[in-house]
Amino acid sequence: MIQLDVRTEKQEEVIKIIFDLIEELRGKYNKEQIIQETKDKGYPATLITELMTRAMGGDLAKHRDMFISTDKKGMLLKLDSLRCIINAYVDEHADKSNIPESLANYAPGRLLLIAMGLATIAAGKGGMDLIKSKYLPEIMQGHSMCYGITEPDAGTNTHKVSTTAVEEGDHYIINGQKIFISEADTATFISLVAKVVSKGGGESIGTFIVDMRTEGVKKTPLDIAAFGDIQYSVFFDNVKVSRECLVGVSGSKGGKQEGISSSVFQALNLERIGVSLICLYMGKVVFSKGVKQAKKKRSSGQPMGSYLNIKHKLAKVSLRLELANLAIKKAAEEFDKKGEPKVVGLYSNIAKLVSSEAAYEAARIALEVYGVEGLNRRDNIGQLMQMVRLPRLGPINNEMVLNFIGENLLGLPKSYR
Ligand SMILES: Cc1cc2nc3c(=O)[nH]c(=O)nc-3n(C[C@H](O)[C@H](O)[C@H](O)COP(=O)(O)OP(=O)(O)OC[C@H]3O[C@@H](n4cnc5c(N)ncnc54)[C@H](O)[C@@H]3O)c2cc1C
């Protein structure tokens, strides 16, 4: 088979180290143990802590430069290396699909939320020092982060957030509500997007890192049927935070702060690329099941894959997944080199749109090949289809991505404020 993703020697070396690590951990942690710990603690804490400690030390440590940038002009995290490894892993293991269930369900989301928190902090003044001195040590001990942007009346439109942070003396007072917050139960910190009202009367949209244990922060679980993790409403009732908690705020015009801070966009671009990677991963897993089934299952004495209508549909999906991989590669490269903000935004949005659509199409065609057999629990095609439907709705729905492309690539007039 032809390998489409050309890799460097260094990438191959890192991929081997990571594959060996995964194999070792797979032998060490059995599925029941992981499921039990997930029930008790909300996530497989022992496995994740070992994974993170091993990732920071051992053979991987000497390749840290592949994942974390030391170049002050670049971004903190290097997403294209991550894409390359995920793609290599899924290409080699997708049809075996024996990745521990709970790790597949919980780890990507949790790590993405932590990465978004760190990207937000890194974007602020003195962010790298703050990460090294305060947040990395906490994260290494198992503390995690969640991300709060969505509100009951501001789903998609961040300009309309009504959670306020009012400057008073040397601190801010936060009031408001966020909904659909993943991991709010286990996170120690929340990256909170709020309307910042400064003493001078200026308003802007900025990001605070708030300790969830602060007085006035409350959370209640939502009754949601989404597969994977639980979402929460998080309430802020006169929550007092120090000035240092505001890690990202927009520039000022005539002494007044205005607009949405770049820290918000950096976290959202990272989220879009991260979700694209999850889509690519899930899409390839479900697709490889479909291809395997098309080779095995017979209809009128012939393997399903020999019929042109099935073969052509599978071929088209494989191309869509490869094109999604290329779109993610482009977005990750622009993100890694801290490209022009509008360009990074455009490619992140494109990657999210094409990868979520490709993954959904992969599940749809796989189910077509399987027929009703696809609903059995062994292959889980029905459940995978529900999972890959979700990224078309969130973290940003694909209609908003089309709006963004229409306005920023084609120069069409705005359709909402
Ligand atoms: C599993 C899950 C986990 C989540 N985790 C988090 C989290 O951790 N933190 C967080 O902050 N949020 C989280 N969210 C929320 C998610 O980011 C929002 O669902 C997303 O921003 C979209 O908001 P909405 O569904 O309220 O969309 P709405 O704005 O209510 O839009 C609803 C629909 O209307 C259409 N629409 C809306 N505006 C336009 C427009 N201008 N043009 C064309 N069509 C439009 C779209 O089709 C859209 O699907 C999560 C959501 C899910 C499902």
pTM of the predicted model, to two decimals? 0.87
268 Cα: distance to centroid of ligand 1 (angstroms): 13
- Residues 277, 388 within the same domain: yes
Instruction: Write the pLDDT tens digit of every residue in 138-168.
Output: 877 778 899 999 999 887 788 889 999 999 9
- Residues 241, 320 within the same domain: no
- Residue 114, domain member (yes or no): no
Last residue within a domain, chosen from 260, 275, 297: 260
- Residue 215, domain member (yes or no): yes
Strands 187-197 and 164-168: parallel
Mutation probe of ligand 1 site: the residue of 105, 144, 156 with most atoms within 8 A of C-beta: 156
- Residues 273, 234 within the same domain: no
- Residues 381, 303 within the same domain: yes
CA atoms within 13 A on the CB side of 337: 8
Containing structural domain, residue 186? 144-260
Tell me if 406 CB under 6 Å of ligand 1. Answer: no
Q: How many domains does the chain have?
A: 2
- Residue 132, domain member (yes or no): no
Residue 312 has pLDDT above 60, yes or no: yes
**Which ligand 1 atom lies nearest to the CA of residue 149?**
11
- Residue 7, domain member (yes or no): no
Tell me if 149 CB under 6 Å of ligand 1. Answer: yes
Distance between CA atoms of 140 and 22, rounded to whole angstroms?
A: 19
Residue 105 has pLDDT above 80, yes or no: no
CATH of the domain at 215: 2.40.110.10
- Residue 175, domain member (yes or no): yes
- Residue 377, domain member (yes or no): yes
- Residues 223, 244 within the same domain: yes
- Residues 271, 400 within the same domain: yes
Going by pLDDT thresholds of 50, 70 and 90, the confidence category of residue 100 is very low
- Residues 183, 305 within the same domain: no
**Which ligand 1 atom lies nearest to the CA of residue 184?**
8
Going by pLDDT thresholds of 50, 70 and 90, the confidence category of residue 42 is low
- Residues 155, 290 within the same domain: no
Q: Which two tokens stand for residue 175?
A: 């009031």
Q: Give the amino acid at 96.
A: K
CATH of the domain at 394: 1.20.140.10
- Residues 333, 391 within the same domain: yes
Mean pLDDT of the chain: 85
Last residue within a domain, chosen from 218, 245, 260: 260
pLDDT given for residue 58 in this prediction: 76
137 Cα: distance to centroid of ligand 1 (angstroms): 33
- Residues 299, 315 within the same domain: yes
**Which ligand 1 atom lies nearest to the CA of residue 156?**
29
275 Cα: distance to centroid of ligand 1 (angstroms): 14
- Residue 337, domain member (yes or no): yes
- Residue 200, domain member (yes or no): yes
Tell me if 417 CB under 6 Å of ligand 1. Answer: no
157 Cα: distance to centroid of ligand 1 (angstroms): 9
Last residue within a domain, chosen from 235, 260, 285: 260
Q: Which two tokens stand for residue 207?
A: 């990001």
Strands 187-197 and 298-299: unpaired
- Residues 319, 176 within the same domain: no
Going by pLDDT thresholds of 50, 70 and 90, the confidence category of residue 95 is low
390 Cα: distance to centroid of ligand 1 (angstroms): 10
pLDDT given for residue 404 in this prediction: 92
Q: Which two tokens stand for residue 9?
A: 């020697």
- Nearest of 352, 351, 347, 331 to residue 395 by alpha carbon: 352
- Residues 198, 172 within the same domain: yes
- Nearest of 281, 291, 405, 289 to residue 355 by alpha carbon: 281
